[in-house]
């Protein structure tokens, strides 16, 4: 780049103007906080979040809507109270304008009232259902999905396309797992199927042998609602027990995430999962994102990487709409709910509760160029958090949990 004298004078003039009018808000960078997890069992996803967000900002030369963006990263460790303190630190000491995060459901719930109190603009990744349902937070939006938003289309697919009639469900014993299983079971049973067995092993169970021994053999398939590396560990053991050949499992959005898929072998081939993202989605934005992420880090971006990359796209589109004036919080929240973005996951918009409406992909594991990938085999366009239910009726029911909806068809 040639730096001519004229450009120098222009730049100097601009700098002088900025110095002369320090009150001009546009000159100040946007301080963006990323609250993630870099220590503990959720760390691999949390680090992906940071990598993808850094990549997005780098591609834009750290400038969104004409304003520089300064990224501040905090590690909440996946512990609710600690995450809350970290968010306070970002708000009260670093004076961030907005936040992407936190990663885990419990931390998002712990931060809920602080987000309200501080009126902190939040683009979240955590799947906690009620943050955008029965107790919607006006400063909170989510561009990824609720826990069950991807599981409900999969239930539909299992009942209607795969013609499954009897299924078991298994998930981590945390709110995320409960919500995912509940959504799956409701849609599957409304479509005529039966969930005949349900298991919730603890998040840190060292061995799935006892659960596999209990598993019924007269079922069509089992739904895996695992997070982190548990899907990987469960499948490996299922393979050792010779069960994969008897029943092909299907999985929720984090069971066979790209982050764990790279460690798997042929036992994963053919398994069907659903998610709002796959590194294999065929659109120009994703092709660019996935290939440059892969070339830098030597693995495919998955759920968490795509999450912050999508949130960053939402952020940019919103900032463009309000001309970068992030200080006007109500305008920002109004804009973010009306924004329509083409992102790596496909077109994205928001409902009035601040949750995303976007495509959900049914994917099958295949081998491509020597590595396992989640190849898209079916797309459910514009899925909302309420699936096909009416929002008002959906919200009259209790939040998805272990106890709701009641399991009617369990066989002992």
Partner 1 sequence: MKTPLAVIVLAALLPLLAGEYYINLASQIVIFAVFAASINLLLGYGGLATLGHAAYLGVAAYLSAFLYLKLQLAHWAIAPLALIGTTLMAGVFGLVALRATGLGFLMLTLALSQVLWGTAYRWVSVTDGDNGLRGLARPMPFGINMNEAMPFYYFVLVIGVFAIWMMARFVSSPFGATLRGTRDQPRRMSALGYDVWLIRWITFIYAGFWGAVSGLLFVYYHKYIHPVSLSLANSAEGLLAVIAGGSGTLAGPIVGAAIVLLLKNWASAYIERWNMLLGFVFVFIVVLMPEGVVPGVKRLWQRRSASRG
Q: In terms of Cα–Cα distance, which of 342, 344, 347, 305 is closest to 320?
A: 342
Residues 127-156 that bind partner 1 (CB under 8 A): 128, 130, 135
Q: Which range in 1-9, 79-87, 162-170, 281-289 contacts partner 1 by CB under 8 A?
A: 79-87
- The Cβ of residue 218 has, within 10 Å, a number of other Cβ atoms equal to 8
**Is 267 a binder of partner 1 (CB under 8 A)?**
no
Distances in Å between the Cα of 281 and the Cα atoms of 37, 276, 278, 307 are 26, 10, 6, 14
Site string for partner 1, 199-228 (x = CB under 8 A): ------------------------------
Considering the complex, state which of residue 39 and residue 338 has its C-beta at the smaller distance from partner 1: 39
Strand-pair category, 356-368 with 346-350: antiparallel
Four-CA torsion 311, 341, 280, 170, nearest 10 degrees: 60
Q: Which range in 76-84, 156-164, 298-306, 316-324 contacts partner 1 by CB under 8 A?
A: 76-84
**Is 180 a binder of partner 1 (CB under 8 A)?**
no
Question: How many residues contact partner 1, by CB under 8 A?
Answer: 34
When binding is defined by CB under 8 A, the residue of 117, 204, 214, 397 that contacts partner 1 is: 117
Q: In terms of Cα–Cα distance, which of 88, 110, 109 is closest to 99?
A: 88
398: DSSP letter: P
Report d(CA 345, CA 150) in Å as an integer. 13
Q: Is 349 left (phi over 0), alpha (psi -120 to 50) or beta?
A: beta
When binding is defined by CB under 8 A, the residue of 27, 79, 285, 376 that contacts partner 1 is: 79
Residues 80-109 that bind partner 1 (CB under 8 A): 80-82, 84-86, 88-89, 92-93, 105-106, 109
Site string for partner 1, 157-176 (x = CB under 8 A): ----------------xxx-
User: Minimal distance in Å, beta carbon 4 to partner 1?
Assistant: 41
When binding is defined by CB under 8 A, the residue of 48, 75, 220, 316 that contacts partner 1 is: 75
In the chain, how long is the greatest CA-to-CA distance?
A: 82
**Is 110 a binder of partner 1 (CB under 8 A)?**
yes
Site string for partner 1, 367-406 (x = CB under 8 A): --------------------------------x-xxx---
Report d(CA 101, CA 99) in Å as an integer. 6
User: Minimal distance in Å, beta carbon 119 to partner 1?
Assistant: 13
Residue 294: what are its φ and ψ, rounded to 5°? -65, -40
The beta strands (E) that lie in 19-114 are given as 30-36, 63-64, 67-75, 98-100
User: Minimal distance in Å, beta carbon 93 to partner 1?
Assistant: 4
Query: What's the helix, strand, coil split of the chain in %, to 5?
Result: 40, 20, 40
User: Minimal distance in Å, beta carbon 395 to partner 1?
Assistant: 16
Report d(CA 164, CA 270) in Å as an integer. 16
User: Minimal distance in Å, beta carbon 39 to partner 1?
Assistant: 6
Q: In terms of Cα–Cα distance, which of 134, 132, 136 is closest to 396?
A: 134
Q: Which residues bind partner 1 (CB under 8 A)?
A: 38-39, 74-75, 79-82, 84-86, 88-89, 92-93, 105-106, 109-110, 112-114, 117, 128, 130, 135, 173-175, 178, 399, 401-403
């Amino acid at each position: 780049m040639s730096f001519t004298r004229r450009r120098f004078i222009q730049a100097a003039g601009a700098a002088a103007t900025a110095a002369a009018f320090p009150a001009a808000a546009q000159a100040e960078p946007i301080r963006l906080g990323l609250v993630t997890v870099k220590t503990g069992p959720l760390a691999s996803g949390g680090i992906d979040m940071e990598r993808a967000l850094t990549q997005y900002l780098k591609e834009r030369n750290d400038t969104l809507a004409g304003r520089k963006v300064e990224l501040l990263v905090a590690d909440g460790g996946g512990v609710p109270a600690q995450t809350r303190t970290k968010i306070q630190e970002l708000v009260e000491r670093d004076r961030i304008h907005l936040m992407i995060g936190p990663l885990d459901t419990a931390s998002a719930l712990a931060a809920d009232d602080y987000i309200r109190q501080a009126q902190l603009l939040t683009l979240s990744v955590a799947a906690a259902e009620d943050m955008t349902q029965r107790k919607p937070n006006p400063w909170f939006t989510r561009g990824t999905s609720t826990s069950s938003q991807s599981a409900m289309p999969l239930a539909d697919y299992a009942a209607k396309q795969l013609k499954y009639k009897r299924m078991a469900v298994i998930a981590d014993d945390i709110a995320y797992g409960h919500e995912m299983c509940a959504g799956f079971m409701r849609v599957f049973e409304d479509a005529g199927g039966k969930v005949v067995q349900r298991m919730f092993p603890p998040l840190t169970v060292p061995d799935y042998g006892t659960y596999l021994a209990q598993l019924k053999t007269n079922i069509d398939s089992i739904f895996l609602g695992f997070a982190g590396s548990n899907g990987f560990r469960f499948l490996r053991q299922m393979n050792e027990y010779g069960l994969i050949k008897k029943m092909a499992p299907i999985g929720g959005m984090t069971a066979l995430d790209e982050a764990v898929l790279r460690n798997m072998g042929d036992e994963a081939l053919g398994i069907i999962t659903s998610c709002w993202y796959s590194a294999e989605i065929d659109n120009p934005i994703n092709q660019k994102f996935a290939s440059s992420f892969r070339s830098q880090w030597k693995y495919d971006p998955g759920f968490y990487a795509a999450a912050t990359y999508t949130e960053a796209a939402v952020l940019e589109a919103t900032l463009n709409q309000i001309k970068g004036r992030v200080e006007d919080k109500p305008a920002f929240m109004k804009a973010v709910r009306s924004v329509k973005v083409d992102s790596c996951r496909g077109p994205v918009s928001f409902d009035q509760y601040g949750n995303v409406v976007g495509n959900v992909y049914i994917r099958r594991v295949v081998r491509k160029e020597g590595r396992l990938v989640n190849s898209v085999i079916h797309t459910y366009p514009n899925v909302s958090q309420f699936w096909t239910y009416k929002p008002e009726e959906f919200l009259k029911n209790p939040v998805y949990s272990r106890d709701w909806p009641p399991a009617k068809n369990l066989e002992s």
